[in-house]
Amino acid sequence: MADNTLHSSARANWLERRFALRSRGGTLRTECLAGITGFLAAAYLLVVIPGLLAIGGMG
């Protein structure tokens, strides 16, 4: 059990050193949700924009 805690603590420290989440007011959960949201928005736009351009006569 102590080894498991050490692993998660070391990982959290690495993330904190690398990305400074706490100093910027973020959490790992917030950052993951933001990444997923950005990815889904980009994927949606890749589908929608060609359709809009085709309707406008540019396709």
Number of domains in the chain: 1
Report residue 39 as tokens.
Answer: 């990815």
Q: Are 21 and 27 in contact (CB under 8 A)?
A: yes
pLDDT tens-digit profile of 16-45? 888 888 888 888 899 999 999 999 999 999
Q: What integer pLDDT is reported at residue 26 of this predicted model? A: 86
- Farthest-apart Cα atoms in the chain, separation: 64
> Which has the higher per-residue pLDDT, 31 or 8?
31
CA distance 37 to 50: 21
Domain that holds residue 25: 2-55
- Residue 3 clears pLDDT 80, i.e. is over it: no
